[in-house]
């Protein structure tokens, strides 16, 4: 069986819409989805120690799952990019913290394919860097860190649909699961 590990951001758990639906895409492809919740308060998210803290939370989950799971992480969870790089794990990174040098460095070391999803109104998104790091990028004009766009809420719901399509197309492109 193929597995996917959903790694939450700092504000909401693994049931937040972006993570829920991205995990559902993997589940519809036959994966067993493991939705992680943080076990304790996390340290300051903009300090290098956060990478080790996230690793301490996520490594045991990956070890328990075994194999080469797909990682699906949002924001704070993108600090697991170092684990993905070390273990050559494919990943979907939603609103990655590209302005944190250790996250960008880890993504640069990755050998397995990954999708980056972000918005131009997100202060931690860097579209140019994203496109240098991966050929798999969804950049949404005007979207903030929650992938909300200005205007009626239905516009942000449409963005969620675009993210689901991008995840599905990415998994098709990398033939996951294989």
Residue 94 is part of which domain span? Answer: 3-173
- Assigned domain for 55 exists: yes
- Assigned domain for 178 exists: no
Could you give the CA distance from residue 78 to residue 93 in angstroms, rounded to a whole number? Answer: 6
| Tokens found for residue 80 | 């697991």
State pLDDT tens for residues 110-158.
999 999 999 999 999 999 999 999 999 999 999 999 999 999 999 999 9
- Assigned domain for 132 exists: yes
Confidence at residue 10, expressed as pLDDT on a 0 to 100 scale: 84
Whether 1 shows a pLDDT value over 70: the answer reads no
Strand partners, 35: 6
% pLDDT > 90, the chain: 83
Whether 14 shows a pLDDT value over 90: the answer reads no
What is the domain-level CATH number for residue 168? 3.40.50.1820
Whether 46 shows a pLDDT value over 90: the answer reads no
Could you give the CA distance from residue 54 to residue 21 in angstroms, rounded to a whole number? Answer: 22
Could you give the CA distance from residue 43 to residue 105 in angstroms, rounded to a whole number? Answer: 20
Number of domains the chain is built from: 1
pTM: 0.95
- Assigned domain for 168 exists: yes
- Which DSSP state fits 31? P
């Amino acid at each position: 069986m193929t597995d996917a590990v959903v790694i939450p951001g700092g504000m909401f758990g693994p049931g937040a819409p972006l993570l829920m639906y991205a995990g559902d895409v993997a589940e519809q492809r036959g994966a067993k989805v493991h939705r992680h919740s943080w076990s304790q308060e996390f340290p300051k998210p903009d300090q290098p120690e956060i990478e080790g803290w996230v690793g301490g939370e996520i490594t045991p989950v990956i070890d328990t799952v075994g194999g080469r799971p797909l990682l699906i992480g949002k924001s704070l969870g993108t600090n697991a990019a170092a684990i993905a790089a070390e273990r050559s794990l494919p990943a979907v990174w939603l609103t990655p913290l590209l302005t944190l040098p250790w996250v960008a460095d880890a993504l640069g070391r990755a050998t397995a394919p990954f999708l980056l999803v972000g918005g131009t109104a997100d202060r931690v998104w860097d579209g140019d860097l994203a496109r240098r790091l991966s050929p798999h990028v969804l950049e949404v004009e005007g979207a903030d860190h929650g992938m909300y766009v200005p205007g009626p809420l239905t516009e942000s719901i449409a963005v969620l649909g675009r993210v689901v399509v991008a995840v599905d197309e990415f998994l098709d492109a990398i033939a996951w699961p294989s």
